[in-house]
């Protein structure tokens, strides 16, 4: 069995997993209005760190805290793979014309210098990067190539990113409203997450969670628009369930993507409907963190594990009037529910979709 544990989150909502979780339970959001690049444009609603230029400080702090939750607080690096997932890495370097330092592999190399894993791999697969990194970690360990994986996810919400999304007309003019009838678009965010994945349960000081595996699929629909039928997400989720040996009836909760764009949320509802998961509780965390791009999958997976550990499902912040093309079980307020087996899914540009299955250990 493959285990995931020792996770940590460093976000504008908190500088540790416990601080983030405390603020989530309090219903707080890190999203704030910020001035646009052009003064005449309306403000952008973003989740951003108040201080800029500390990309590596945040990542190192996040990883160091993760390692403190391991027995011995240091893995056998000769048996460990480091997987860095991101869409754009330290993209803010472009503003200073530091082209090389903005590259994904530059960041991956810097991480391996500090954390000397046997191998370091970069995963950049749009907004499913964090989930894809966990899938890769699972498969590399399952096939016996490594015993452990240190999975890291990070993205910046730079001017380059926010202005780029504005060109897609996908930005909300206020706080985002996932799965709501009146949703307008996304709030971008930034953050860091790290987690340890291992075949050795005893390496964790706290009880880990079983990572049963998953799958990815591409609907090949459009460079930025999702399939109108949810085909890619349907296939990824169906295969994830089959790989994990679980039926739809065994899923207690779905941590979905929920970007609050018209097409994404409708597409997800179609995939959920096709899988006969309509009655399963669903939520989106974008109203708390914003859309943290390549970091979203790992950040939301770690929050999902916290929900499993406490048998609580956070409400979808911003939701007032559910309104997707197919009905799903989404709600605005936190509820209690015993959570044993859950599904984490995501979708992204280029038609990519992914899903993993997590299970509570007894």
- Give 281-328 pLDDT, tens digit per residue: 999 999 999 999 999 999 999 999 999 999 999 999 999 999 999 999
CA distances in angstroms from 103 to 87, 97, 98, listed in the order given: 10, 12, 9
- Rounded CA-CA distance 40/211 in Å is 48
Which pLDDT score, from 0 to 100, does residue 76 have? 96
Q: Give pTM, 2 decimals.
A: 0.96
Which pLDDT score, from 0 to 100, does residue 211 have? 98
pLDDT band at 130 (very low <50, low <70, confident <90, very high): very high
In degrees and rounded to multiples of 5, residue 342 shows phi and psi of: -135, 165
Q: Which CATH number fits domain 3-203: 3.40.47.10, 3.60.15.10, 3.40.640.10, 3.40.50.2300?
A: 3.40.47.10
144's tokens: 């016996």
- Asked if 3-203 and 209-359 have one fold, the answer is yes
- Give 183-235 pLDDT, tens digit per residue: 999 999 999 999 999 999 999 999 999 999 999 999 888 777 788 889 999 99
The H-or-E segment that residue 50 falls in is: none
Average pLDDT over residues 42-53: 87
Strands (E), the chain: 3-10, 31-34, 44-47, 80-85, 119-123, 148-155, 191-198, 209-218, 253-255, 281-283, 312-313, 329-330, 335-336, 341-348, 352-359
- Give 78-96 pLDDT, tens digit per residue: 999 999 999 999 888 888 8
Q: Measure the CA angle with vertex 260, ends 256 and 263; round to 5°.
A: 90
Beta carbons of 122 and 154 less than 8 angstroms apart = no
Domain edges within the chain? 3-203, 209-359
Q: How many CB atoms lie within 10 A of CB 354?
A: 31
Which pLDDT score, from 0 to 100, does residue 42 have? 84
85's tokens: 């997932």
- Give 246-279 pLDDT, tens digit per residue: 999 999 999 999 999 999 999 999 999 999 999 9
CATH class of the 209-359 domain in this structure: alpha beta
Q: Residue 37: is its pLDDT beyond 80?
A: no
């Amino acid at each position: 069995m493959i285990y995931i544990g020792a996770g940590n989150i460093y976000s504008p909502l908190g500088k540790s997993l416990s601080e983030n979780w405390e603020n989530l339970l309090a219903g707080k959001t890190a999203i704030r209005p910020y001035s646009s690049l052009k003064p005449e444009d309306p403000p952008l609603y973003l989740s951003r760190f108040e201080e800029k230029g500390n990309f590596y400080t945040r990542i190192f702090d996040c990883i160091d805290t993760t390692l403190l939750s391991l027995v011995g607080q240091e893995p056998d690096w000769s048996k460990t793979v480091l997987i860095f997932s991101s869409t754009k890495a330290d993209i803010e370097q472009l503003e200073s014309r530091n082209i090389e330092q903005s590259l994904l592999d530059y960041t991956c190399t810097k991480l391996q210098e500090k954390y000397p894993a046997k191998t370091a791999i970069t995963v950049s697969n749009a907004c499913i990067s964090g989930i894809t990194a966990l899938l890769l970690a699972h498969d590399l360990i399952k096939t016996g190539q490594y015993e452990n994986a240190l999975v890291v996810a990070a993205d910046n919400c730079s001017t380059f990113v926010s202005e780029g999304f504005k060109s897609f007309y996908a930005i909300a003019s206020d706080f985002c409203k996932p799965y709501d009838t009146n949703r307008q678009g996304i709030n971008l965010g930034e953050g860091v997450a790290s987690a340890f994945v291992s075949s050795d349960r005893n390496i964790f000081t706290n009880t880990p969670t079983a990572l049963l595996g998953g799958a990815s699929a591409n609907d090949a629909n459009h460079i930025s628009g999702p399939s109108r039928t949810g085909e890619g997400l349907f296939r990824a989720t169906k295969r994830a369930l089959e790989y994990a040996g679980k039926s739809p009836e065994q899923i207690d909760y779905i941590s979905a993507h929920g970007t609050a764009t018209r097409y994404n949320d409708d597409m997800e509802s179609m995939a959920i409907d096709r899988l006969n998961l309509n009655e399963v509780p669903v939520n989106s965390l974008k109203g708390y963190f914003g859309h943290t791009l390549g970091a979203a999958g790992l950040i939301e997976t770690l929050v999902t594990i916290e929900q499993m550990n406490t048998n609580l499902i956070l409400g979808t912040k911003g939701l007032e009037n559910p309104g997707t093309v197919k009905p799903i079980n989404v709600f605005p307020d936190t509820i209690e529910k015993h959570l044993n087996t859950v599904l984490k899914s995501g979708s992204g540009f280029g038609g990519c979709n992914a899903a993993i299955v997590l299970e509570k250990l007894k």
